[in-house]
Chains A and B, each alone.
Chain A
């Protein structure tokens, strides 16, 4: 058993752990809620998590570089509104220019964040706290107290997220969810296989070492914010398509939910480690718990937030403790493996002392 633990990478282990927790949560609620385990549950969670998955993916890239982006919620709201206004004014616009517009719009906001954090060297939590309010106020000003209604949007846009690509029994694979999965997998492959994208990890693990290795840390941090902005813009497009009715509160609170999804998904808040697949599963877990709590008779409306908070805290704590124990176990094993050769053992001690 421990052998197996040692062979797989810690990230793969973490993802297995998350899947295990997901199953536990589903099993638990299936004993508490009537009519719980069915295709409908899958359809609900998959459609609603599609938007958060995109935001959490962007958030993960930023957190990897030891930063945080609190402005994503406002960016989602603004791009959703701006894209909605655009398509209302030009109803003949096709999907491709519209999606491009949303992503460029989001990336533009990301540039502002990125420039301030990477080049002006202002801590990201301060910058994005300020831009969260600024972008939201920009939306209030831009919207002129109007709202976008689904009636004024073209039919293809409104029906897009719920288009069924594949139906197996009650289970439906919908276009919105499919888009999110494709983006998550694509970003995951890039982050794990593509050399320039590995820089995000390098900068987050140790900025000094990355600098010495010839990585342009500023450009890397800047790129992380621009990517997060572009993904938030795409999420804004999806938000518009799914909800149709956009007011100035659109996307409010998404920044914290995306941080929660990333952290629950095993992304280290101090940077340098984590995967977008993990963040994706984290988003699913948070959404699953949230949706299930609404259906659980035992928990009243007023306690739901508290229970959700406690569950997030619990999952992160358990994860941290387990991982720490595992690392210790692994270190001990490595130590053990190194023991038969006294010379090698001595070397290890020396290095440790140095």
Chain B
């Protein structure tokens, strides 16, 4: 993460040096532009938090336009997202802020929206090919999530043991990228004692995740940790281990919400987990989209701007998706029994 941030800064400096580049753009508020915040689907706490952050930025910038929070229902996520994208373009929305759950299937409608003059800013989960996307606001460097997860497994297992992954859906772009980066990280010497035995999918549903977690324990009697990079999966796994009295044997870790995980962290079922702030992510995404929709940002590589209370950010190339652009938010917090109770309030 440090490396890429340095590179981003270096690129910005180089442009400054060449005398062409914009200095830090301070976004001017008060311009009218209608925007749409489009989550994967409605009814999950983290997306609601992102909306709170976006609303905060909306008020702060004094945009007289409208900020709509619309999303599909869970069973209709892919088709619903494509439909909302198309409708937004027809309505002439200034920008769509998308947490993509439709893989590359959304690219044609996103491209059509761009052609109609609507900016497409992704957040949380990008369009894998980068097609139809202006810029991706990354919560954290996808490569560093892998290292953080590997580190948590390392500390829980005490250096060696078996680990299994319980993910969301098999085609979730962000989870797949994080798992791949963890597999990369595990190749390092430090983690040579850790064996990744299986990857299963709980479809982000409590009951599927719960049953999958138990099946993992049955399948691998020596399993030491279940790593779940999704807030639904980690909670369901922890509950399953607690219900079956397996917490001494199998620990749970991954990405979770402090409010949902606090009891499991305190009783030792999930000693460590990580997450970033979804409110901040919504806030930064709004600033980016507002800047682009009002034409104050061009979306060029190396362009820098100030995002209100969060400080300065730079558009850089996405190392995970060559040819695509991203803005890196970072960092994230690792929670354990020392800090989880305060965060859960």
- Main DSSP-derived SS at the B contact region: helix
Chain B, residues 194-223, CB within 8 Å of chain A (1/0): the string is 000001110011110011101110110100
What is the minimal beta-carbon distance from B317 to any residue of chain A, in angstroms?
32
A325 on the interface (CB 8 Å rule)? no
Contact between A252 and B74, CB atoms less than 8 A apart:
yes
Say yes or no: B260 contacts A245, CB within 8 Å. Answer: yes
A320 within 8 A of B: no
Which of the 9-residue segments B43-51, B123-131, B135-143, B297-305 touches chain A? Answer: B43-51
* Interface residue B338 (Cβ < 8 Å from any Cβ of A): no
Contact status B74-A249, CB under 8 Å = yes
A252 to B211, CA, bound (A): 15
Per the 8 Å Cβ criterion, residues 255-273 of B in contact with A are: 259-260, 262-263
A252 engages B205 (CB within 8 Å)? yes
A162 in the interface, Cβ–Cβ < 8 Å? yes
A44→B240 CA distance, assembly (Å): 11
Residue of A nearest to B208 (CB): A253
Given A145-B44, A145-B47, A162-B243, A243:B210 Cβ within 8 A = yes
- The answer to whether B239 and A243 touch across the interface, beta carbons within 8 angstroms, is yes
Bound together, the chains give a CA A247 to CA B210 distance in angstroms of 14
Q: Are B218 and A35 in contact (CB under 8 A)?
A: yes
| Cβ–Cβ contact A147 & B243, under 8 A | no
Q: Tell me which of B73, B170, B232, B262 contacts A133 (CB under 8 A).
A: B73
Q: Could you tell me the distance between the alpha carbons of A146 and B43 in the complex, rounded to whole angstroms? A: 6
- A249-B214 contact given A137-B73, A151-B262, CB 8 Å threshold: no
Q: Which of B107-156 contact A (CB under 8 A)?
A: none
* A333: Cβ under 8 A from any B Cβ: no
Q: What is the CA–CA distance of A253 and B199 in the complex, to the nearest angstrom?
A: 22
Residues of B within 8 A of A40 (CB): 218
- Chain A interface residue count, Cβ-Cβ cutoff 8 angstroms: 39
Q: Give the interface residue-count category, chain B.
A: 35 or more
Per the bound structure, the CA–CA distance linking A314 and B313 in Å amounts to 58
Which residue of chain A has its CB nearest to the CB of B201? A301
CB of A150 within 8 A of chain B? yes
A301→B199 contact, CB < 8 A: yes
Contacts of A244 in B (CB 8 A): 239
Q: Using Cβ atoms and an 8 Å threshold, which residues of chain A touch B206?
A: 243, 245-247, 249-250
B182 at the interface (CB under 8 A from A): no
Contact B73–A140 (Cβ < 8 Å): yes
A137 proximity list for chain B (CB < 8 A) = 73
A239 close to B (CB within 8 Å): yes
Binding site for A on B (CB under 8 A): 41-45, 47-48, 51, 73-76, 170, 199-201, 204-207, 210-212, 214-216, 218-219, 221, 232, 235-236, 239, 243-244, 259-260, 262-263
Apart from A149-B259, A245-B206, list 15 A-B contacts with CB within 8 A: A41-B218, A44-B211, A133-B73, A136-B75, A145-B48, A146-B48, A149-B260, A242-B210, A243-B236, A244-B239, A249-B43, A250-B206, A290-B211, A291-B211, A295-B219
Q: Which 6 A-B pairs have the closest CB atoms?
A: A248-B43, A145-B48, A294-B215, A243-B206, A295-B219, A249-B74
